[in-house]
Amino acid sequence: MIRLERVIDTLPHGLARLRDEARRDGHRMLDTLVAEWASGATRFERPGEMLLAAYIGEALAGIGGLTREPGLPGAFRMRRFFVAAEHRRAGVGRALAAALLADARHRRQIVTANAAAGSEPFWEALGLVRDRRGGWTHILVA
């Protein structure tokens, strides 16, 4: 069973393991998450923003967030999205993304994403379409 928890005061236990895996895969988004969290630059606390941790049992299986899109007023951007390899294709990514997109869809807000190579089909299955006009790879126009 997948359990989602909103991250508010402290980054979740187990993030170091996810960050190490992301690095091995050639991704630095979780390094950026940790650095921006520590500096206070990005805490996912403005209206409409959130950071969610996904757990399977007690293990941190994935993480993902939604922030304001700096290049498009009124829009949001999927950020710092990563799921541990052992939990991929088990619904973790879909649960995270669905929860993050739910409010934006309800409010009919635009959401962008910068899909990592190979993850394009995942984002497209969620309704985002390819669009490279504004520094992102995909966009959801609700």
- Average model confidence (pLDDT) for the chain? 93
| Helices within the chain (DSSP H only) | 15-24, 29-39, 92-106, 120-125
Residue 58's CATH number: 3.40.630.30
pLDDT computed for residue 70 by the predictor: 86
pLDDT computed for residue 135 by the predictor: 83
User: Mean pLDDT for each consecutive 10-residue tract of the chain (142 residues)?
Assistant: 96 97 95 97 95 97 95 91 94 96 87 90 92 88 75
Summarize pLDDT for 119-132 with one digit per residue, the tens. 899 999 999 999 98
Domain count, the chain: 1
pTM: 0.93
Summarize pLDDT for 13-29 with one digit per residue, the tens. 999 999 999 999 999 99
> Would you mind telling me the total number of residues written for the chain in this entry?
142
pLDDT computed for residue 142 by the predictor: 67
Domain that holds residue 50: 2-141
What one-letter code names the amino acid at 89? Answer: R
